[in-house]
Each structure stands twice: as C-alpha cells, then as structure tokens.
Chains A and B, each alone.
Chain A
Amino acid sequence: DIQLTQSPSSLSASVGDRVTITCRASQSISIHLNWYQQKPGKAPELLIHAASNLQSGLPSRFSGSGSGTDFTLTISSLQPEDFATYYCQQSYTTPTFGQGTKVEIK
C-alpha cells in the first residue's frame, strides 16, 4: 500500500494566518491526491481533488499543489470555521489516508 505522511500532525494558528500542510507519498501518485476537512463529530468533506482542484462552492482561500510524491494544502487566511482536522488521501491505487493534521486556535 502507498503510505501518506502528513506534516505537521498538529499546529496552532491565529485567524488571518497563512497555513500550509504537507503530504508526502511513499511512491509517485501523479496528481491522484485529495484533501478533506473534518470537524469534530462530523463526516469528512472533500476540499481539493486531483491535487489542485477546489471542490465547487468552497472558498478560494483553500488551494492545493504538488505532483509525484509531494503535495501541499494552503489556507491563505485562516478563518474561525477552518479550525478542524485535515486529511490527505491518494486515489492512485487502493485508497489510503494520511494520519491527519489538526489545526487549532492559538
């Protein structure tokens, strides 16, 4: 199975901060990388698919980049509703998820 390693595992940030989360795959997955947001007690929500495609209806402060083995999710200006856990997931082969990155309020 392809392993996905996210960093950091958690971070503290303030409203308005720029936040970057990285996801590294154990082998090349082209652009078959997705990002999800999960809030406590809720189901995950798809944010970004195919590495850089923002899901319809979501705010443009979320962006994704990367290809091959290294990927990034960026939140350009953190909003109160963005405090959540973020997961990367590869759809290149049998699906696997990263371990998650918890974004907390500083």
Chain B
Amino acid sequence: EVQVLESGGVLVQPGGSLRLSCAVSGFTFSSHTMNWVRQAPGKGLEWVSGISGSGDRTYYADSVKGRFTISRDNSKNTLYVEMNSLRAEDTAVYYCAKGISTSSTFDHWGQGTLVTVSS
C-alpha cells in the first residue's frame, strides 16, 4: 500500500525559512517524479515544484522560483522542500504528490501539512 506523509508545517514569520518533508513507502521511490502542490485557505490547487526520480531535474512554479528548493533522498524514501523568504501568500496546505512514473499526473497524495506565514 502506498503511503505518503508530510511533516514540518508550522507558523513562521514573513521572511523566514522552513523545510517540509515527505516520507513515502509502498513503491519504488526512485522510479517516480515527486511534487509539491499547495492550497491556500478556501482556494484552489497550485502546483509548486517537481523533481525527477533521480533528482537531477527540478521544476518550479514562477511564484516560488528562486525562493524554494526541492530535493529528495532516495536512500531514505523522503522528499523535501526548503522554503526561504516566505511571504503571507505562501500560507497554504502543502501536499506531497507522487507522479505516475515520470509524468506529472498525481496518483497518490499525502494528507497535507499547513504552513502559516504571519507576524
């Protein structure tokens, strides 16, 4: 059974930094792209970032480019996102989502972790 579990969401001040983690099990982690998708309170879904199975290719939404860094540790079956220079508009539930093979179709999602950026 595929399991996806995010952690690390907290209240942080504007301009601050945070790292989210996503631990997975139940599939061959290194064979799948992994992604972060966020949802601001009461709003729709926004893709944030993705990374290839080997970790050699990374992709970012314009809204976070230069501030967020996605990475993965295939030996630990864990996905990360380092978030810097956080803004109020980054406040959202952040979901970790598994891609079907190398695609950006998301077939398994975690329960999400809430990041609140506020003073």
Residue numbers of A with Cβ under 8 A of B are 1, 34, 36, 38, 42-46, 49-50, 55, 87, 89, 91, 94-100
For residue A31, give the distance in angstroms from its CB to the closest CB of chain B: 11
Known contacts A43-B95, A44-B95, A49-B100; A95/B109 CB under 8 A: no
Residue numbers of B with Cβ under 8 A of A are 35, 37, 44-47, 50, 59, 61-62, 95, 100, 103-107, 109-112
CB of B61 within 8 A of CB of A94, answer yes
- Given the complex, which residues of B lie within 8 Å of A55, measured CB to CB? 107
CB of B107 within 8 A of CB of A46, answer yes
CB of B95 within 8 A of CB of A46, answer no
Known contacts A43-B110, A43-B111, A49-B107; A87/B47 CB under 8 A: no
CB of B47 within 8 A of CB of A97, answer yes
